[in-house]
Structure 1
Amino acid sequence: MSEAGVQRGKRTAGRPPQDASREFVTPEGVDLRLRIGEAGERAAAFLVDVIILTIALIGVSIVMVGVLAASRARGVEVAAIVWLLIAFFLRTFYFMAFEMHPSAATPGKRMLGLRVIARGGGRLTADAVFARNAMRELEVFLPLSFLFSQGDGVDAWVVLLGLIWSGVFLFFPLFNRDRLRVGDLVAGTMVVKAPRRKLMPDLADERPPGAARVTFTQAQVDAYGVKELHVLEDVLRRRDKATMRAVAQRIQGKIGWEGEPVADGEFLAAYYAALRGRLESRMLFGHRRRDKFDRG
């Protein structure tokens, strides 16, 4: 079986340039295909989150009005400052709290099937979440404050500057292939599609009838490790006849198999079950063979 290295952001040959899918192949040979969240999807998710924040702020405003009415409108200035502080912390920590959750998605992102991940393929850290959301103040809320301050003694050129600023940050994701906003660029994150998928059936329970008559010696099963097991599982799930034929011939040559002729799918299914059983039994005793080169 061919060696699989880590490949990030590599396009499959023959795909159109506008294709938004990316391939992440782990050192164990697991091929993870992810689709980048489109700008329209991200904008819709942000709009949903803004609506939720607006409803929360309306609730806060109603409570503040009730407090002022009970105190006969005393301390209006203090109430206004408190409202501004609540609005700031609400819009700031709303995004951070949800994206630090294991789902790494706000309610808006969940509705659109999106989530935040680290571009390097590692764990999404609190520092990255803080950085990408802190930048939102500069990208969205600060220029918006310029725009809505028109008529309060703010010069027209300041409002124009706010419009230009908003436009630069608004259209920035359209000019890079991974649809990154500036916050993503700074934090090393990206937003991808995370659709709900059904749990795939266990291949060990779906062996073809003919696979039961194929047997292997312990030496033949010990030819490969965990990495090759994952690659073989992927081959069996794809069911591509040409690939299965090539992999079956490669394994048979590697282990020196001289059994009776059998279909490629049956051979691979039998070898998968034998290899998996052997690796699992070794792991019970603390031995984990990473790949065919690991002799530990």
Structure 2
Amino acid sequence: MAKRARKQQKRRTETEPQLIRRLITPEGVPLNLQLASAGTRAGAFALDMVIILACLTLLTLLAVAAFFVARTRYPSVIAIIWLLGFFLLRNFYFIWFESGRRAATPGKRRANLRVVARDGGRLTGAAVVARNMMRELEVFLPLMFLGFGAAEGFVDRWTVALGLGWSCLFLFFPVFNRDRLRAGDLIGGTWVVESPKQDLGIDLVAHTGDRADLLMFSDAELSVYGQYELQRLEAVLRSDEEETIRTVADAIRGKLGRWDNVRDRAFLQSYYAQSRARFERNLLMGRRKRDKFDSSG
């Protein structure tokens, strides 16, 4: 499984090198991230819209049922509740899911995508709200204006063309910039990156097993990072780049506050093996620390 994931990652890197970005975390650790392509993002968004439309259909059916139960005495109240529900659904659907641990909507999860901060820090609620509220101006408001305007008969052909042009400008905006950013990403300071499901490398632990017990780390030291950081550390050890290994080792030492007198590679190999063993023990007890910001592990 891990070998197949690495082959797929290598194939994507070879075919789309322009989508690889080097991100420096606040700890100074360099990470190579694969940005999501415009097509992948469009597919994820289409799936999310299908889910939203399904929920909207259910909301509409409930409104119709309430309309008949109320015997048409409160049609305006029912219409207001429907419009409010539609507003909350199309906006807070994205905000709710992207504010979670996975930082991804169901559509993004299906496409193995997630939202990250471009500065390498933690994805904040303000960034999530900013990037998603922009979608209201990009897509929903123009389309709603056109839809209601056409229904009432006060929108002419030029207004329709202008509204569609406005929507298409923002819809296809990711195609015309190198980072595949939406306007919301520009304002929120975010990227959408590929986050393929990976298993932590068993073969790497076997290779480093003879050195895993050279150093003994406390439980608090091993709990600093989560699965995401362990996968990044595995990639660093496999890359065998001395400069990267030195940078990552210094960053982890700075976090732990000791082990300055241990060689970089031996330090990282021991830390990786013991952290991975602790991670797997926690999995057996139903606890999964997804990344360094997750407090559940």
Tell me the TM-score normalized by structure 1: 0.65
Q: Distance in 2 between matches of 1:118 and 1:270?
A: 28
Give the drift of 1:275.
8.7
Question: Is 1:272 matched with 2:266?
Answer: yes
Q: Distance in 1 between matches of 2:107 and 2:160?
A: 29
- Alignment size in residue pairs: 222
Give the drift of 1:16.
7.9
Q: Distance in 2 between matches of 1:96 and 1:232?
A: 30
Aligned to 1:79: 78
The SS at the match of 1:22 is strand
Matches within 5 A, 1:141-290: 141-148=140-147, 149-152=149-152, 153-201=154-202, 205-207=206-208, 236-238=237-239, 272=266, 276=270
When residues 175 and 28 of structure 1 are mapped into structure 2, their CA distance, relative to the original with a 3 A threshold, is: same
Question: Is 1:116 matched with 2:115?
Answer: yes
Give the drift of 1:237.
2.1
Q: Which structure dedicates a bigger proportion of its chain to helix? A: 2
| RMSD over aligned Cα atoms | 3.5
When residues 107 and 208 of structure 1 are mapped into structure 2, their CA distance, relative to the original with a 3 A threshold, is: closer
Q: Distance in 2 between matches of 1:156 and 1:15?
A: 46
Aligned to 2:19: 20
When residues 198 and 67 of structure 1 are mapped into structure 2, their CA distance, relative to the original with a 3 A threshold, is: same
Q: Percent identity?
A: 48
Aligned to 2:104: 105
Q: Distance in 2 between matches of 1:235 and 1:199?
A: 13
Larger radius of gyration between Structure 1 and Structure 2: 1
**CA deviation vs aligned residue, 1:57-115 (integer Å, no higher than 9, x gap):** 11111111111112222211221111001100111111101000011000000001111
Give the drift of 1:142.
1.2
The SS at the match of 2:43 is helix
The SS at the match of 1:19 is helix
Q: Distance in 2 between matches of 1:84 and 1:270?
A: 59
When residues 167 and 16 of structure 1 are mapped into structure 2, their CA distance, relative to the original with a 3 A threshold, is: same
Letter aligned with residue 166 of structure 1: S
Tell me the TM-score normalized by structure 2: 0.65
The SS at the match of 1:34 is strand
Indicate if the aligned counterparts of 2:25 and 2:121 stay in contact, CA closer than 8 A.
no
Q: Distance in 2 between matches of 1:129 and 1:179?
A: 17
When residues 87 and 28 of structure 1 are mapped into structure 2, their CA distance, relative to the original with a 3 A threshold, is: closer
The SS at the match of 2:33 is strand
**CA deviation vs aligned residue, 1:159-206 (integer Å, no higher than 9, x gap):** 121011012111211111100010000110110001111112385652
The SS at the match of 2:200 is coil
